[in-house]
Amino acid sequence: MQYAMLIDLNRCIGCHSCAVACRAIWQVPVPHQRSWVHRLGPAETPFGLASTYYPGHCNQCDKPACIPVCPVTPVPKEFRHQGTGLAKTIQVSATWKNPFNGIVEIDKSRCIGCGACVKGCPYNARFVNDAKKPLKADKCDFCQGRLDQGLEPFCVETCIGSARIFGDITDPQSAISQYIKDGAIKLESPDVRIGPNVLYSGNKRDIYLLTETSTPSLLPQVSQRRIILGELVKPSSQRLNKAVSSENRKLS
């Protein structure tokens, strides 16, 4: 399974209801954002004058660039499929890609707030929440708690234009898979091919303007300063991991 979202630019009216709902529900401090809507144009394209919107958030990428740069010491973590109960254990740092639903997640109890993952994301879809202490990274997770209850993400529910189609992109019978058959694009370039799972459809003018203005051209390079910072806090991170593991053993 891979949860994904398709955004139909023909239906998006730029009302920002998705971004406003997201900020209110998740209490995202200004100027940060888990979800955004940027206005593009008006601008000339090979297909005529274009003016559209760029609704975006974390892409839950197939190969997330934000994960390998996390300096937190990896530990084993067990994941369990909600439907079948199948379990799988993998090594994870403070951020990982869920092996059963494809969502990129953050463990706030282990995140050290160094910002390496924020810098590593080519879509600028992460931020460090500096309104709370200690500092923690944050991002869209497709409202995973709602998904566990069989509900859709808030941005999908609040979209008055029904511009967002959400579902399992690996299921050929899902609504999003059926929609993609009519054509959809990912914001990828020759140097940034990490498999974003937010797709866009629309007319040629708007798609051209979106890709020309919003496609990342390069993968960001995480500075040595952030790597060194991560190395410095590793001892504290390791002590925290041992304490958490010890507490889990007591509870079990």
Close Cβ partners of 79 (under 8 Å, ≥ 6 residues apart): 87, 88, 89, 90, 98, 99, 100
User: What is residue 234's DSSP assignment?
Assistant: H
The residue among 193, 154, 182 whose CA lies nearest residue 57 is 154
> How confident is the model at residue 206, as a pLDDT?
98
* pLDDT tens digits along 194-232: 999 999 999 999 999 999 999 999 988 886 555 555 556
Close Cβ partners of 153 (under 8 Å, ≥ 6 residues apart): 5, 142, 143, 146, 147, 164, 166
Q: In this structure, how many other beta carbons lie within 10 angstroms of the beta carbon of residue 28?
A: 19
* pLDDT tens digits along 87-135: 999 999 999 999 999 999 999 999 999 999 999 999 999 999 999 899 9
**What is the total count of domains within the chain?**
1
The residue among 150, 114, 151, 109 whose CA lies nearest residue 130 is 114
Task: Classify 114 as helix, strand or coil.
Answer: coil
| Angle in degrees, CA 79, 103, 152, rounded to 5 | 110
Q: Is the pLDDT of residue 59 over 90?
A: yes
Total count of residues recorded for the chain: 252
Q: To the nearest 10°, the Cα dihedral for 230, 234, 237, 238?
A: 150
> How confident is the model at residue 224, as a pLDDT?
57
Q: Is the pLDDT of residue 252 over 90?
A: no
Parent domain of 86: 3-251
> How confident is the model at residue 84, as a pLDDT?
87
Q: State the pLDDT confidence band at 34, using cuts at 50, 70 and 90.
A: very high
Q: Could you tell me the two tokens for 88? A: 């799988």
Beta pairing class for 198-201 and 3-8: parallel
* pLDDT tens digits along 141-182: 999 999 999 999 999 999 999 999 999 999 999 999 999 998
Q: Is the pLDDT of residue 4 over 80?
A: yes
Q: Is the pLDDT of residue 236 over 60?
A: no
> How confident is the model at residue 233, as a pLDDT?
56
Query: Could you tell me which residue, 129 or 239, shows the higher pLDDT?
Result: 129
Q: State the pLDDT confidence band at 83, using cuts at 50, 70 and 90.
A: confident
Q: To the nearest 10°, the Cα dihedral for 251, 108, 133, 136?
A: 170
Q: What is the CATH number of the domain that holds 170?
A: 3.30.70.20
User: What is residue 185's DSSP assignment?
Assistant: B
CA distance 155 to 33: 13
Q: Is the pLDDT of residue 6 over 60?
A: yes
Q: In which residue are the tokens 């497709």 written?
A: 142
CA distance readout (Å), 154 to 20, 109, 165, 221: 10, 24, 12, 32
